Chain A
Amino acid sequence: MADELVMPRLSDTMERGTVARWIKHEGDLVASGDVVAEIETDKATMEYQSDLDGTILAILVADGETAELGAPIAIVGEPGEAITPRPAADHTSVTAPVGASSAPATPRVTTAPVKASPIARRIAEESGVDLRELAGRGSGPDGRVVRTDVERLIARAGRREELPPPRAVAPVAPPAEAEVVDATRIQTVIARRMSEAKATVPHFYLTAEIDMTRAMTTRAELNAALAATGEKVSVNDLIVRACGLALHDNRQFHRSWIGGKVAYHPHANVGIAVALDDGLIVPVIREVERKTLRQVASEARDLAKRARTGQLRQPEIEGGTFTVSNLGMFGVAHFAAIINPPEPGILAVGATIERAVPVAGSIAIRPIMNLTLSADHRSSSGADGARFLQSVQRYLEAPILLVG
Chain B
Amino acid sequence: MADVTYREALRLALDEELARDPNVFLMGEEIGRFEGSYKVTAGLWKKWGPKRVRETPISEEGFVGAGVGAAMLGLRPVVEIMTVNFILVAMDMVVNHAAKVSQMFGGKVKVPMVIRTPGGAGAQLTAQHSQSLEVFFAHTPGLKVVSPASPADAYGLLKSAIRDDDPVLFMENLVLYNLTGPLDTTAGDGAIPIGVAKVVREGGDITIVSHSYTVRRCLTVADRLAQSGIEAEVIDLRSLRPLDVDTVIESVRKTSRCLVAEEGWATFGISAEIAARVHRACFDDLDAPVERVGSAEVPMPYAKSLELAAMPLEEKIEAAARGLLAECGVL
Complex contacts, B286 vs chain A, CB 8 Å: 117-119
- Asked whether any CB of chain B lies closer than 8 Å to the CB of A149, the reply is yes
- Asked whether any CB of chain B lies closer than 8 Å to the CB of A241, the reply is no
Complex contacts, A140 vs chain B, CB 8 Å: 288, 327-329
Interface centre among A120, A122, A147, by most B CB within 10 Å?
Answer: A147
CB distance from A197 to the nearest CB of B (A): 12
User: What does the 1/0 interface line of A182-221 toward B look like (CB < 8 Å)?
Assistant: 0000000000000010000000000000000000000000
Q: Judge whether B328 and A259 touch: CB under 8 Å.
A: no
Complex contacts, B318 vs chain A, CB 8 Å: 259-260
| Closest B residue to A117 using CB positions | B287
Q: Judge whether A146 and B285 touch: CB under 8 Å.
A: no
User: What does the 1/0 interface line of A148-165 toward B look like (CB < 8 Å)?
Assistant: 110000000000000000
Interface residues of B in 302-331 (CB under 8 A from A): 315, 318-319, 322, 326-330
- Asked whether any CB of chain B lies closer than 8 Å to the CB of A261, the reply is yes
CB distance from A391 to the nearest CB of B (A): 30
Interface residues of B in 279-314 (CB under 8 A from A): 283-288
Give CA–CA (A122, B328) in the complex, Å: 15
CB distance from A257 to the nearest CB of B (A): 12
Q: Judge whether B284 and A119 touch: CB under 8 Å.
A: yes
Known: A147-B256, A259-B315, A259-B318. A122 touches B327 (CB 8 A): no
Number of chain B residues close to chain A: CB under 8 A: 17
CB distance from A196 to the nearest CB of B (A): 8
Complex contacts, B319 vs chain A, CB 8 Å: 259
Partner of B287 from the list A147, A260, A261 (CB cut-off 8 Å) is: A147
Give CA–CA (A118, B287) in the complex, Å: 6
Complex contacts, B224 vs chain A, CB 8 Å: 260
Complex contacts, B330 vs chain A, CB 8 Å: 148
| Closest A residue to B320 using CB positions | A259
Q: Judge whether B329 and A149 touch: CB under 8 Å.
A: yes
Q: Judge whether A117 and B283 touch: CB under 8 Å.
A: no
CB distance from A183 to the nearest CB of B (A): 18
Give CA–CA (A139, B325) in the complex, Å: 10
Q: Judge whether B329 and A261 touch: CB under 8 Å.
A: no
Give CA–CA (A117, B318) in the complex, Å: 22
Interface residues of A in 51-73 (CB under 8 A from B): none
Complex contacts, B322 vs chain A, CB 8 Å: 259
CB distance from B305 to the nearest CB of A (A): 13
CB distance from A222 to the nearest CB of B (A): 43
User: What does the 1/0 interface line of A102-144 toward B look like (CB < 8 Å)?
Assistant: 0000000000000001111110000000000000001111001
Q: Judge whether B315 and A261 touch: CB under 8 Å.
A: yes
Q: Judge whether A146 and B328 touch: CB under 8 Å.
A: yes
Give CA–CA (A259, B224) in the complex, Å: 12
Complex contacts, B287 vs chain A, CB 8 Å: 117-120, 146-147
Partner of B256 from the list A119, A144, A149 (CB cut-off 8 Å) is: A119
Give CA–CA (A148, B326) in the complex, Å: 11
CB distance from A155 to the nearest CB of B (A): 14
Interface residues of B in 241-297 (CB under 8 A from A): 256, 283-288
Give CA–CA (A149, B327) in the complex, Å: 11
Interface centre among A119, A122, A144, by most B CB within 10 Å?
Answer: A119
User: What does the 1/0 interface line of A252-272 toward B look like (CB < 8 Å)?
Assistant: 000000011100000000000
Give CA–CA (A260, B316) in the complex, Å: 10
Q: Judge whether B327 and A146 touch: CB under 8 Å.
A: yes
Give CA–CA (A148, B331) in the complex, Å: 11
Give CA–CA (A120, B285) in the complex, Å: 8
Complex contacts, A260 vs chain B, CB 8 Å: 224, 315, 318
Give CA–CA (A196, B326) in the complex, Å: 9
Give CA–CA (A385, B296) in the complex, Å: 36
Q: Judge whether B283 and A118 touch: CB under 8 Å.
A: yes
Give CA–CA (A120, B329) in the complex, Å: 12
Give CA–CA (A46, B287) in the complex, Å: 43
Give CA–CA (A148, B325) in the complex, Å: 10
Q: Judge whether A148 and B283 touch: CB under 8 Å.
A: no
User: What does the 1/0 interface line of B24-53 toward A look like (CB < 8 Å)?
Assistant: 000000000000000000000000000000
Partner of B285 from the list A122, A141, A144, A261 (CB cut-off 8 Å) is: A122
Q: A117-B287, A118-B285, A119-B285 are in contact. List 13 more A-B contacts (CB 8 A).
A: A117-B286, A118-B283, A118-B287, A119-B256, A122-B285, A141-B327, A146-B287, A147-B256, A149-B329, A196-B326, A259-B315, A259-B319, A259-B322
User: Can you identify 14 A-B contacts, CB atoms within 8 angstroms?
Assistant: A117-B288, A117-B328, A119-B256, A119-B285, A121-B284, A122-B284, A140-B327, A140-B328, A147-B328, A148-B329, A259-B318, A259-B319, A260-B315, A261-B315
Q: Which 3 A-B pairs have the closest CB atoms?
A: A139-B329, A148-B329, A147-B287
